[in-house]
Amino acid sequence: MTWNHILSWLRLLRPPHWIKNLVCLAGVLFYQQYQLLWAAITVTVAFTGVSAAVYLLNDIMDVERDRTHPKKRNRPLASGQISMQAAWVVGLLLAAVAVTLAFLINLQAGCCCVGYLVVNVAYSLKLKHLPIADAFCIALGFVLRLLAGIYVLNVLPLGWLILFTFFLSLFLGFAKRRAELVAMEDQTDASERRPVLDHYSLTFLDGTLDTSAALAIVCYALFVMLPSSLRQNPTLVVTVPFIVFMVLHYRRRLTHPKYRIEPNRIIYHDRVMQGAAALWLITYVAIQQASVRWFE
């Protein structure tokens, strides 16, 4: 196997997107079960494998359309650098190993992994062409990651945390669609456009962004403030402004005409966003570990 062949496989498996699977580790933070970090890391590896298999499936399903696309025709499958047969074999093998690993951790984590696979197969086959349902699939994928990471801790997930994850992921999903819709203004060839974008408008997407952002913030505030089995420290309410700031900053960057940038790149390259996230994490952990109580 040549170096170029290895690079082609890496492009197909999309390692930059594997960072999304770190959501599986969120349960360790919120439930303070640091002694079970290894179990959460194991389920993160399982979801990395199954998500890589999903990326392979997406490219397999879109290969004919990609071959007519001026940019996507250079993808490993569309360009013929990797054969369809090899992609199927690797994809099925990755999915089987990942699901097996998840079930070896515990039943619930395995079910979440299977659920993630089912949702994404449905997304690739049909749902990615249905407005709203496409964004719901993206959000549900993040919720299933979170649930798997919580279930390996042998605890039950809290409703407000699940809703916070769902609405925040929905916000990010609609943000991606908005960015793609804006980018369509520079595309004259219809083959370059994602078909579902024909069913969206900027007005509608701006409304869904504002709604999902507001619901995510409210759910997070309720999660840290309301009594629960986590015995939350009421002082965690001071972390709410960090969440509000990050959501509003992301929203501003997304819609500002000066910044024509992909939503994912905002998260990966925006130093203000990264700084705010670091401050939120430090503050959250410090309040948890030091048992600081400023409020009741």
Tell me the pLDDT of the chain (296 aa) as tens digits: 677 777 777 787 888 888 899 999 999 999 888 899 999 999 999 999 999 999 888 888 877 776 676 677 777 777 777 788 888 898 899 999 999 999 999 999 999 999 999 999 999 888 989 999 999 999 999 999 999 999 999 888 889 999 999 999 999 999 989 888 887 766 555 555 778 888 899 999 999 999 999 999 999 999 988 876 566 778 889 999 999 999 999 888 887 665 555 666 777 778 898 999 999 999 999 988 877 666 66
Same domain, 116 and 58: yes
Residues 6+ apart with CB under 8 A from 8: 76, 81, 82
Q: Residue 192 has what pLDDT?
A: 59
Contact 128, 134 (CB under 8 A): yes
Considering the domain architecture, whether residues 152 and 167 belong to the same structural domain is answered as no
State the CATH number of the domain containing residue 42: 1.10.357.140
* Residue among 185, 264, 255 nearest 18 (CA): 264
Rounded to 5°, angle at Cα 187 from 70 and 179? 105
Name the domain count of the chain. 2
Same domain assignment for residues 244 and 287: yes
pTM of the model: 0.89
Instruction: Based on the fold, state whether residues 111 and 178 are members of the same structural domain.
Output: no
Closest C-alpha among 277, 200, 193 to residue 243:
277
Whether 35 and 134 share a structural domain? yes
Contact 240, 220 (CB under 8 A): yes
Please check whether residues 244 and 276 belong to one and the same domain: yes
pLDDT at 233: 76
Q: Are residues 190 and 239 in the same domain?
A: yes
Instruction: Print the domain residue range for 82.
Output: 1-157
Looking at the structure, tell me whether residues 112 and 210 fall in a common domain: no
Q: What is the pLDDT of residue 39?
A: 93
Q: Is the separation of the CB atoms in 113 and 99 below 8 Å?
A: yes
Rounded (10°) angle between helices 84-105 and 37-61: 150
CA-CA-CA-CA torsion sign (272, 273, 277, 278): negative
User: Of 138, 157, 176, which one is at a domain's C-terminal end?
Assistant: 157
